[in-house]
């Protein structure tokens, strides 16, 4: 799926109603939010992406398998390659580390505020990218 920063991932436009996409031939599993700080989610297990919604609008898209920018699949490249590709470093004041219980590894999370993305890495390699909607932009 192709990424347009602060706008879309593949055919899914950030800020648009999820109902625009539920008639497609793509199978989604609906996951209800667990708490007040969580969002409802439509998960596509085949292509490994999640669409998070709030009040029926797409607010974030998470990709684990493919997310192309400028012809490069960002998933699987090193974080330094991404900084060269987009010409910017992440906001290091908002960098987090999370221990992943599924495989006992630590993932480092980087924020690229200008680009509207959050990048999850394992040993420096990008394993997930969240593309989010900011209605104030």
pLDDT by residue for the chain (137 residues), tens only, comes to: 999 999 999 999 999 999 998 876 778 888 898 876 689 999 988 889 999 999 999 999 999 999 999 999 999 999 999 999 999 988 777 677 777 667 778 889 999 988 999 999 999 999 999 999 765 54
**pTM across the whole model:** 0.87
Can you give the residue ranges of every domain in the chain? 3-132
Instruction: Say if residues 120 and 111 touch (Cβ distance below 8 Å).
Output: no
Q: Regarding beta strands 117-122 and 125-132, do their DSSP bridges make them parallel or antiparallel, or are they unpaired?
A: antiparallel
């Amino acid at each position: 799926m192709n990424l347009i920063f602060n706008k879309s991932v593949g055919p899914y436009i950030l800020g648009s109603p999820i109902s625009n996409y539920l008639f497609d031939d793509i199978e989604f599993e609906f996951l209800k939010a667990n708490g007040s700080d969580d969002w409802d989610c439509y998960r596509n297990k085949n292509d490994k992406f999640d669409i998070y919604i709030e009040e029926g609008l797409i607010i974030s898209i998470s990709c684990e398998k493919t997310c192309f920018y400028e012809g490069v699949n960002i998933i699987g490249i090193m974080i330094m390659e991404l900084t060269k590709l987009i010409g910017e470093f992440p906001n290091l004041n908002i960098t987090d580390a999370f221990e992943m219980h599924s495989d006992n590894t630590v993932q480092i999370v980087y924020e690229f505020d200008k680009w509207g993305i959050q990048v999850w890495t394992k040993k420096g390699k990008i394993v997930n990218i969240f593309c989010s909607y900011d209605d104030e932009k």
